[in-house]
Chains A and B, each alone.
Chain A
């Protein structure tokens, strides 16, 4: 089973700043089948990025994904107040597994 490790566990930034979240896989993720989700308190997760770098429908272009193999990154170019949430990566090339999450909090 592929294990995904996200870092940092918590990221403290201010609105307007750039956020960089990392997701590292224990083995190569097939065909970049890597997704990112955002979850706000009391809400279901929302798909942001699939295929490592494709934005899901309706996702603002300040969200971008990159990477391949075992190292992937979610970048939020300029943080808006509504972006503070928990972010999860997920691989779906071999079963489905989630990372443990990164909490993005307001500094």
Chain B
């Protein structure tokens, strides 16, 4: 079965660092992109960025560039989303999702066909 399993809920204080994970199984982890999507409480979906674990090619939404870091360890089929200094406004559900490879002049990404269960991050003093 193809699945993405995310790490558990986190409660942190402002200024703390955090790294959450997304482990893929049942498919070739290095042949698909893994993206991250934020959903603030009661709000819609926001695309944060995406990584191709095969060569760590990473793209960020302008809204999240410099705010988070996306990485992957292909040896353990796991992608990560990390913050160096959390803010209360980072409180949200974070989803990872898989996207296939498309070629459109360059390597780009398909729609998200498989989603993780989400990781709730709460930042509060």
Contacts and interface: CB of A to CB of B under 8 A. Distances in A.
B117 interface: yes
Contacts of B97: 44-45
Given A1-B62, A44-B95, A50-B110, A98 B47 contact: yes
Interface in B12-34: none
Given A44-B95, A88-B44, A101-B44, A96 B50 contact: yes
Contacts, number: 66
B111 A50 contact: yes
A96 B118 contact: no
Chain B CB within 10 A, most for which of A1, A30, A35, A96: A96
A31 B104 contact: yes
Contact of A93 (B37, B59, B104, B118): B104
Interface in B103-125: 104, 108-113, 115-118
Contact of B104 (A30, A35, A44, A90): A30
Contacts of B95: 44-45
Nearest to A42: B118
Chain B interface: which size bin?
Answer: 20 to 34
A92 interface: yes
16 contacts: A1-B62, A31-B104, A33-B102, A44-B97, A44-B117, A47-B112, A90-B47, A90-B112, A92-B102, A93-B104, A93-B108, A95-B47, A96-B61, A96-B109, A97-B47, A98-B46
Interface of B: 35, 37, 44-47, 50, 59, 61-62, 95, 97, 99, 102, 104, 108-113, 115-118
